[in-house]
Chains A and B, each alone.
Chain A
Amino acid sequence: MAGKTLYDKLWDDHVVHTEDDGSCLIYIDRQLLHEVTSPQAFEGLRLSGRHPWRIARNLAVADHNIPTTDRANGIADPVSRLQVETLESNCKEFGITEFHMSDIRQGIVHVVGPEQGATLPGMTVVCGDSHTSTHGASAALAFGIGTSEVEHALATQCLVQKKAKNMLIKVNGKAGPGVTAKDIVLAIIGKIGTAGGTGYTIEFGGEAIRALSMEGRMTVCNMAIEAGARAGLIACDETTMDFYHGRPYAPKGDDWNMAVRYWQKLHSDADAKFDKVVEFNAADIKPQVSWGTSPEMVLPVDANVPDPAQEADPVKRQGIERALQYMGLQAGQKITDIRLDKVFIGSCTNSRIEDLRAAAAVVKGRKKADSVKQVLIVPGSGLIKQQAEAEGLDKIFTAANFEWREPGCSMCLAMNADRLEAGEHCASTSNRNFEGRQGYGGRTHLVSPAMAAAAAIAGHFVNIAEEGA
């Protein structure tokens, strides 16, 4: 019998019941809740007179609507405020732990979960947010769900699922200078496309992935959903265990030792069979910049914006034409000639301490270009903010005329006050460059924290691999 993939192991460990058509009732170990996708789920529980199956498996934090300035004054937008207050009242009513806006542990739900050890290797993790795939970096089966499923997981601690297929994306060799986890995952999406992973759980492996820190691995798994895969996975190893040791919600003492013995098995067997394998050479990957309105519309920084006339497929050609028009770009123009109006460093993709360090290393002793109107640095959690301040990173940013903000989702999706104006170009470390994502008419370019920082200094994209910035 062939060995099992990591996904097979995690799946088999959580099957509660199997139906005749192969759909399964899967046990959910952890549900993370935030204010945007949970109110209707709690309302559903109330209307049906149901209660959470296992209260302590839920953890809540408001992040999408949270202001990144002036917290003392509360939330100015009454609609946002009501949504955040609704999360608070629902958590209180059902006895669910919530990290409030004034709590140092508050932050972006996908940053907070691993940081607290609330999401652990071997778990099934769900959240009403597509970027739940982030938690797969610690060999947890983690995927985003809709609000009906949030309610289902609250009421039953289970979900009805059909098993996906197994894909392995192997990134061989060592990445070059200026090439980060973000560049690796953008290059992957550029190749396989935004639907390339649909129907699959993607395991990321190979030397370049193994060499990543937990922060880098989270960046990669975070964007598995942008490749269409509900879940991304990375095998558990020493890096994983070191990251979790001592975290508040992680097991302690004998439990820790027992957990580690189990976690050490959380990798694909050598003879495991994947339905699809895609390989990359890390050395071929250059720093990436997205030019269009889909994460697959991405190119190396030294490339030129594509020319739709060169595209044979009519649906794709129309897509390129539409994207160029929306983005205000000319076919064939150099990516390094794209000028930026704003820069955003943050989001569940790139707001962890390593991301802030990478940006600070580029910025140190330099200043924002005058042509760049605003640079926001939004840490992923209060604890990351505290850590960054202890290292003096905030001083480096403010000396460069960047704005040092409070934690939250911020301009990744502009549900709070942080947003682009129509026509503005933004170098953003977030995950989606869809039309209007960062503000009505806004133009997003997805990049790594180092690239975003370099662009803030230069006023346009620069080849950070060459300049050693």
Chain B
Amino acid sequence: MRAFTTLTALVAPLDRANIDTDAIIPKQFLKSIRRAGFGPYLFDEWRYLDHGEPEMDCTNRPLNQEFVLNKPQYKGAQILLTRENFGCGSSREHAPWALEDYGFRAIIAPSFADIFFNNCFKNGILPIVLPAESVDRLFNEMADGYQLTIDLQAQTITTPSGQNIGFSVDENRRHRLLNGLDDIALSLQHADKIKAYEAERAKRAPWLFKEA
């Protein structure tokens, strides 16, 4: 996994609450057995005027010019600013895959749906929860070329005027993201504990261990 340390990047404002994972990446694209290549289909139904299908070449599809990511001033944005309950709905990891493939490295919102929030950390994306008032202020400050600097080590966001906004990430998650660590390798360091647990549990619940 790609590590996340610091990021100074353009911000795209997506001013809408309860954005669900069906909107982030519609179901037809979930038929892929690959992990990459979802970026062109991110927000497919909002971004294009036609109906997208898997494997479609998106270069000549008609764009919805009203959609924020299609506006030239947000081209190259790596930080998404949005509203509460972002990523609600399904567990599809294709949602963070699509966001990451498009180029987003951080998402700022007043709240996130739980499974989506968790999935972001597995893919080098930093989801940042800020109080609704702070998110409001960022939306109000947005201007052409608006950039933020995010420092995960210090857990701060710095605005163009030099103001610092603090945020907080679980220590364990922060450590893993800062170092781009492989979760499975870390968990397998506890293999002896897993085996000891199984031996003890097999005494309490033998019916669970008869099939193996």
Interface residues of A (CB under 8 A from B): 16-17, 19-21, 23, 25, 27, 29, 36-37, 39-40, 43, 48, 50, 53-57, 64-65, 77, 79-80, 82-83, 86, 122-123, 128-130, 132, 143-149, 151-152, 155-158, 160, 162, 194-195, 198-199, 225, 228-230, 249, 251, 255-256, 258-259, 262, 294, 315-316, 318-319, 322, 413-415, 432, 434-437, 440
Contacts and interface: CB of A to CB of B under 8 A. Distances in A.
A79 B54 contact: yes
Given A50-B184, A128-B93, A258-B207, 4 more contacts: A79-B54, A83-B32, A152-B183, A162-B170
Contact of A262 (B88, B115, B187, B204): B204
Contacts of B18: 194-195, 294, 319
A27 B201 contact: yes
B18, B51, B183 — most chain A CB neighbours (10 Å): B18
Interface of B: 16-18, 20, 22-23, 26-28, 30-35, 45, 51, 54-55, 83-85, 88-93, 96, 111, 113-115, 118-119, 122-123, 170-173, 183-184, 187-188, 190-191, 193-194, 197-198, 201, 204-208, 210-212
Nearest to A296: B18
Nearest to B22: A434
A83 B31 contact: yes
B114 A198 contact: yes
A323 to B, nearest CB: 10
A20 B28 CA distance: 42
Given A25-B187, A158-B187, A436 B22 contact: yes
Contact of A158 (B54, B96, B170, B194): B194
A249 B212 CA distance: 13
Nearest to B90: A130
B193 A25 contact: yes
A36 B30 contact: yes
A65 B31 contact: yes
Contacts of B114: 198-199, 228-230
Contacts of A146: 91-93, 96, 115, 118-119, 122
Given A146-B92, A146-B115, A436-B26, A79 B212 contact: no
A130, A294, A435 — most chain B CB neighbours (10 Å): A130
A64 B24 CA distance: 19
Contacts of A162: 170
Contacts of A123: 208
A255 B207 CA distance: 6
B170 A23 contact: yes
Contacts of B115: 130, 143-146, 225, 230
A194 B207 CA distance: 37
